[in-house]
Structure 1
Amino acid sequence: MAVVAAKDAQDWLIEKIAHRLGVDQSEVSPERFFDELDLDSTEALILAGELENWLGFELGTTALWYHPTIKDLALFIAEESSQRADAA
């Protein structure tokens, strides 16, 4: 299993969120809170599923609660990815 860097996770999230919102990637700040991004619950679930497919592992249901910005979630993903790679 390859380790996902925080920068790669952040870039992935920004690209997907910008696409879903129909805006340029430069308009999606990594410091913005997910609840400020105008994603409805269906879009958020789809995004979470795509993220888990990309990562190759499931994120906990509380991941967005405890890591409420793109930057925070990207750092968490990198940490999780590293721990999973070390355990493999």
Structure 2
Amino acid sequence: MPAQLTTTEIEQWLVGRVVAYGKIQADAFTVDTPLAELGLDSVYALTLCGDIEDEFQLEVDPTIVWDHPTIRELAEGIRQRADE
């Protein structure tokens, strides 16, 4: 993952994924809204993990989505994983 990428930029990317998956407007939720409330189920979680791996060149377990249940927490988790 590029070193210059910030948690905020990761959040913005995740918002785009949630909007695309859930077909909901970006202004209908915040980065602190639980992903489960946004309709993220196990199928979307697996898809999102694949997208995270492709976008950030990281290997992630699908449980990352459940361990970090909001966009803000997930973005921070991705950032931390990238720093390992």
Fold equivalence (TM over 0.5): yes
| Unaligned segments of structure 1, at least 5 residues | none
Match of 1:54?
55
CA contact (8 A) 2:49 2:61 kept: no
CA contact (8 A) 1:31 1:69 kept: yes
Structure with greater contact order relative to length (CA < 8 Å, sep ≥ 6): 1
Measured on the aligned residues, the alpha-carbon RMSD in Å equals 1.7
Match of 2:2?
2
Match of 1:64?
65
CA contact (8 A) 2:45 2:62 kept: no
**What SS does the aligned partner of 1:68 have?**
coil
How many residues align structurally?
A: 83
Based on CA coordinates, which of the two structures has the bigger radius of gyration? Answer: 1
Match of 1:36?
37
**What SS does the aligned partner of 1:31 have?**
coil
| Unaligned segments of structure 2, at least 5 residues | none
Offset of residue 9 of structure 1? 0.9
- The 5 A counterparts of 1:5-16 are 5-16=6-17
Q: Does 1:79 align with 2:80?
A: yes
**What SS does the aligned partner of 1:57 have?**
coil
**What SS does the aligned partner of 1:63 have?**
helix
Paired with 1:32 and 1:64, the residues of 2 have a C-alpha distance of 13
Code of the residue aligned with 2:23 in structure 1: it is G
Runs (4+) of structure 1 moved beyond 2 Å? none
